[in-house]
Amino acid sequence: MKTRFDPNLSVSKIKDSKKYGFIVSATHSGAGKSSLTAGLMRLFSRKGYQVAPFKSGPDYIDPSHHERACSRPSYNLDTKMCSKSYVRKLFEETSHSANMVIAEGVMGLFDGASATNETGSTAQIAKLIGLPVLFVFNGSAMARSSAALVKGFKEFDPDLRFLGVVANKVNGARHAEMIRRAVESHTGLPFLGHLPFDPKLEISSRHLGLQLGAEQTDDLYERWADHVENHLDIKKILRLAEIPLLENRKPPRSRWNHSTTIKPFTVAVARDSAFQFIYQDTLDQFRFYGGSIQFFSPIADKTIPNGADWLYLPGGYPELFAKQLSENTTMRKSIRLWGQSGKPVVAECGGMMYLGKSLTTEEGTKFKMAGLFQFETTLNPKRMTLGYRDLKFDSGTKETIRLKGHEFHFSHFSNNPEKPQMTSDTKASNPAVADGYVFKNSIASYTHIYWGADSKWLKHILSKLR
């Protein structure tokens, strides 16, 4: 049985007074780090460890699997959208009550926001938060060459610490032994085991990546934990993953500063099968500044929750549920009238698509949406938009708000008479990006904003409350 997260539990109250941690990374995307990470999280969780999960980079899907695996919210660590100081504070604050920290990297170990420096990479995050790298690679079609591969990654950055190596998709014991001997003799890194390929353990994918954790059965994580325990040297991992633990350490200070000018508020947050892409850090920020969160479903609920002061429609998969969203005419009308009355609405990516006039699916079927804005969107799986965003928003005051976030979508505007109110400098984004559409106090953007890094965005939204 997995252990549920107890936010009031301090490290001193956990049976094992030691603390462990590592970050799982790989040669490239698709090498097996997501499944391995989820398996390790579930395995250590059911062994009684309080596991704190993290994800390097801008991602909503992997954290959903982390939470399913260890029953604790996963946090994103990103040095492109946040300052290094903020990332360290976020990590320290949210991992304080755990005695096991497991983070999952993004893409390959050294991939990030730049081709010439480490910004936004897993390697940078690992050094910033002081975790060693558990390195996984696909060993299915190599033997001695695996040593050259691992050696290249090990020596690329001498300041990076490695916990050890795992060879994925290696079925035979003889093959695994050849890889072990090659890696250990030529690199000096511990070989922690191999994982045979099992098609029954694969997680299905769609256009934005793996299916979400909420779409999986709990048995999948149990089977992954069994798979990991049966093939990896768990005792060696624990021995190598021990990290310093300061005795009687006080809880770290909050990553945000208290404000006496913000009054308590209630935000209605869309969360259902169509809208899932919400950073846990954003929800934490809402609550820190006195917010009460009411989740609602634009698919199933008839109207906006009573008592809400403003609405937040995050990203997700509205294109997969366009028919259900369109058929819920009372909710569409409720949101349209809300925005037309001047009450604040913030929508990002999929939420923005929902606020438009219509959404056309991959099959070419057009469905009516909320109609608060006049733009129309169309899904095209062959047309991807991907990248970090550094935007300026004219708040109507003396201060210009800088917003950082990212875009990742396969939809585009088929018609857009709206004028963008957010722009990026060509220095930060080439070519320049225009985003952010405003109607009264409703703001919609393709960019997923990282709210937590700066409270100015939340304070601007709250300033619109009547």
Q: Catalytic residue numbers?
A: 349
26: left (phi over 0), alpha (psi -120 to 50) or beta: beta
Taking the CA atoms of residue 33, residue 169, residue 150 and residue 126 in that order, the dihedral angle to the nearest 10 degrees is: 10
Contact residues for 60 (Cβ-Cβ < 8 A; gap 6+): 276, 277, 278, 279, 315
How far apart (Å, rounded) are the C-alpha atoms in residues 427 and 440?
30
The β-bridge relationship of strands 385-394 and 420-423 is antiparallel
Contact residues for 102 (Cβ-Cβ < 8 A; gap 6+): 21, 22, 23, 24, 37, 40, 41, 44, 51, 52, 53, 54, 70
Greatest alpha-carbon span in the chain: 70
% helix / strand / coil in the chain, to the nearest 5? 30, 25, 40
Query: Which residues pair with residue 55 across a beta bridge?
Result: 76, 104
8 Å CB contact between 235 and 261? no
How far apart (Å, rounded) are the C-alpha atoms in residues 383 and 372?
25
8 Å CB contact between 377 and 412? yes
Contact residues for 426 (Cβ-Cβ < 8 A; gap 6+): 432
Measure Cα distances from 172 to 135, 167, 197, 298, 432 in Å.
Answer: 20, 11, 10, 50, 51
Q: Which amino acid, residue 250?
A: K
How far apart (Å, rounded) are the C-alpha atoms in residues 161 and 151?
13
300-328 burial, b at 16+ Cβ within 10 Å, e below that, comes to: ebeebeeebbbbbbbbbbbbbbbebbbeb
Phi, psi of 205 (to 5 degrees): -120, 165
How far apart (Å, rounded) are the C-alpha atoms in residues 249 and 68?
29
